[in-house]
Amino acid sequence: MTLQEQLVALMTILRKEIKRYLRIWMQTLLPSAITMSLYFVIFGSLIGSRIGEMGGFTYMQFVVPGLIMMAIVTNSYSNVVSSFFGSKFSHSVEELLVSPTPNYIILLGYVIGGVSRGLLVAIIVFIVSLFFTGLHIHNLFVVVVIVLMTSVLFALAGFINAVYANNFDDISIIPTFVLTPLIYLGGVFYSMDLLPEFWANVSKLNPLVYVVNAFRYGVLGVSDVSLTIAFGMIAGFTLIAWFYSMHLLNAGTRLRQ
Amino acid sequence: MIPALTIENLSKEYTGGFRALKGISLEVQQGDFFALLGPNGAGKSTTIGIICSLVSKTSGRVAVYGTDIDVDFAGAKKNIGIVPQEFNFNMFEKALDIVVNQAGYYGIPPLLAHKRAEKYLRKLGLWDKRNVSGRMLSGGMKRRLMIARALVHEPRLLILDEPTAGVDIEMRRSMWDFLKELNEDGTTIILTTHYLEEAEALCRNIAIITNGEIVEHSSVRDLLRRLHREVFIFDCVDPLPEAIEIEGFSVHRVDDNTLEVEVKKGQHINEVFARFNETGIRISSMRNRANRLEEMFVNLVEGAA
């Protein structure tokens, strides 16, 4: 395929992905807006007002970056895992497999689709957060890069989950039993300073700690972890996930007989 | 002329050790209308799966219009259109989107993709249903949609795996006409089917596969010529006597008014009518007992078992 033909194929996958989640917006876009609004009301306004300051900011301001990042992570992941598994389940993935579209374009199409949903939900949640608190971005570059890298990483993770999944239970196990606990223990609602030293060190094994803190640095200018380590960790995991996903596609794992 | 499809010593062994293909070789010429026949589990779908990359081969060589799939699979895929046995499109997408998206996967820009989609949806009588989602279409419409989808990139080789399974007679006939027209316009067609009447009506050449091996690869005409006998059923006007014999022919009295007569190679059906006249048997109608190709197919498959 020429470069132009590959671009057409990429845009086709992307258009299809965006159409899919916009068509079912009540399942894909709305829940995050509602859930986050509840978080803002309960943790930010009601409970947060009694907690006082955290990391030098009001509790509401402190939790907003973590909550936005939570929306990005879950939406990027779930978009790819449900879309790719759905196409595997209905065998419509064969439309792509029989075509000359290269595997990296297939992967890129699904990943950008997941990223676009993650970003769209992030914008929605950000707008909702403005009703509760004022935010100004401390470092736009860090915000943009961390958001993009994180959504790419979790879109890839969703892809890997979809390849291995045999049924619909398999696509909800990882988000429920792995992703959600890691997010909640990733410093969305608290600063690492509040933890005893032992648990603070254990927390540093959680990749979500780096994602949440790097993004919090971009928005508020404060972080519990080194920004360099955070960037390095996310970039490293992203590269591993990309090459592993490509290996799965090239080998036809669970896709070709 | 380069063959449309070349298969050399193709083998497939699935995990668990089942050998679906045992080194088959096959050649389909450009412009041919070719039938790949065989009982269930013979290896037809595995062969097709390997050609279009849904199944990985264990060994052997496959080339499409001279392009080896191990060397340039993307190049080979551009020449192939595939209509699978099972419905494999997103049931929630609209018919038009399904066809346009498929064009996109072949690098066809949106404007041209829409023109092509309209052309094939119209030809297959689906243009009125273009905005209907896949799940709302009838079985016959879904099959036609898969044909339109397979044609949107205008492949030189169209492979149809049981395209008329579950389609009513009228629809089957109209699909036959469409495929004949497509073949006359230069598209090479490979068809797998369980309806041997379909293969006899459409195809010029044939391969019969059973237990992962090709047991016959010749023209339909040659195959039929090799039939040693044919059985005709005669409906008689008057009741037949209990014991009936016709000199030179083997007969079987089915009921009071029906008689089966076996006509061997070298005998003529006129002779049967001459005997009927001699014995005063009046005939109201006659037909073949079974599809001729079916008879040959059963002989070959049973012979290989």
Instruction: For CATH 3.30.70.1560, list the domain ranges present in chain B.
Output: 228-304
Q: Is the pLDDT assigned to residue B305 strictly greater than 60? A: no
> Alpha-carbon distance B293 to B200, whole Å?
7
Count of alpha carbons within 13 angstroms of residue A84, beta-carbon side: 34
Q: Which two tokens stand for residue A52?
A: 């006082």
Taking contacts as CB-CB distances below 8 angstroms, the residues of chain B near A6 are 107
- pLDDT at residue B7, as a whole number: 94
Say if CB A143 and CB A62 are below 8 A apart: no
Residue B82 near chain A (CB below 8 Å): yes
pLDDT band at B293 (very low <50, low <70, confident <90, very high): low
* ipTM of model: 0.88
- pLDDT at residue B247, as a whole number: 82
- pLDDT at residue A86, as a whole number: 93
Of A12, A90, A257, the CB nearest to B14: A257
The mean pLDDT of A191-196, rounded to a whole number, is 81
- Residue range B209-241, pLDDT digits in tens: 888 898 888 888 887 776 667 788 889 998 888
The mean pLDDT of A88-94, rounded to a whole number, is 92
- Do B102 and A4 lie within an 8 Å CB cutoff? no
Residue B70 near chain A (CB below 8 Å): no
> Alpha-carbon distance A87 to A74, whole Å?
20
Of A2, A90, A100, the CB nearest to B90: A90
Q: Is the pLDDT assigned to residue B157 strictly greater than 90? A: yes
Block residue for tokens 């040659």 = B222
Q: Is the pLDDT assigned to residue B166 strictly greater than 80? A: no
Domain extents in chain A? 3-48+55-251
- pLDDT at residue A4, as a whole number: 95
CATH of B228-304, one of 3.30.70.1560, 1.10.1240.10, 3.40.640.10, 3.30.465.10: 3.30.70.1560
Measure A251 CA to nearest chain B CA, in Å: 9
- Do A4 and B107 lie within an 8 Å CB cutoff? yes
Q: Is the pLDDT assigned to residue B85 strictly greater than 90? A: no
- pLDDT at residue A187, as a whole number: 83
Q: Minimal CA–CA distance to B192: which of B22, B28, B10, B305?
A: B28
- Residue range A58-84, pLDDT digits in tens: 888 888 888 899 999 999 999 999 999
Of B53, B90, B104, the CB nearest to A92: B90
Q: What percent of chain B has pLDDT over 70?
A: 93
CB–CB contacts below 8 A, A to B: 86
Backbone angles phi, psi at B114, to 5 degrees: -65, -40
Euclidean distance between the first and the last CA atom of chain B, given in angstroms as a whole number: 36
Please provide the average confidence, as pLDDT, over all residues in chain A.
90
Taking contacts as CB-CB distances below 8 angstroms, the residues of chain B near A13 are 104-105
Say if CB B13 and CB B56 are below 8 A apart: no
> Alpha-carbon distance B250 to A246, whole Å?
67
Q: What percent of chain A has pLDDT over 90?
A: 53
Measure B166 CA to nearest chain A CA, in Å: 20
For the B5-224 domain, the top CATH level (class) is alpha beta
- Residue range B102-126, pLDDT digits in tens: 999 999 999 999 999 999 999 998 9
Task: Find the chain A residues whose C-beta atoms sit closer than 8 A to any C-beta of B.
Answer: 1-2, 4-6, 8-9, 11-13, 15-16, 19, 23, 86-87, 90-92, 94-102, 252, 256-257
- Return the H-helix or E-strand segment holding B269: helix B269-279
Measure A98 CA to nearest chain B CA, in Å: 6
Q: Minimal CA–CA distance to B77: which of B97, B61, B60, B62?
A: B62
Instruction: For CATH 3.40.50.300, list the domain ranges present in chain B.
Output: 5-224
Q: What percent of chain B has pLDDT over 90?
A: 47
- pLDDT at residue B302, as a whole number: 65
Q: Which two tokens stand for residue B58?
A: 């264990």
Of B56, B90, B101, the CB nearest to A12: B101
- pLDDT at residue B197, as a whole number: 76
Q: Which of residues 218 through 247 in chain B touch A, CB cutoff 8 A?
A: none
Q: Which two tokens stand for residue A171?
A: 């696509």
Q: Point out which residues pair with B10 in neighbouring strands.
A: B24
Residue of B nearest to A2 (CA): B107
Q: Which of A59-73, A145-159, B193-207 has the highest mean pLDDT?
A: A145-159
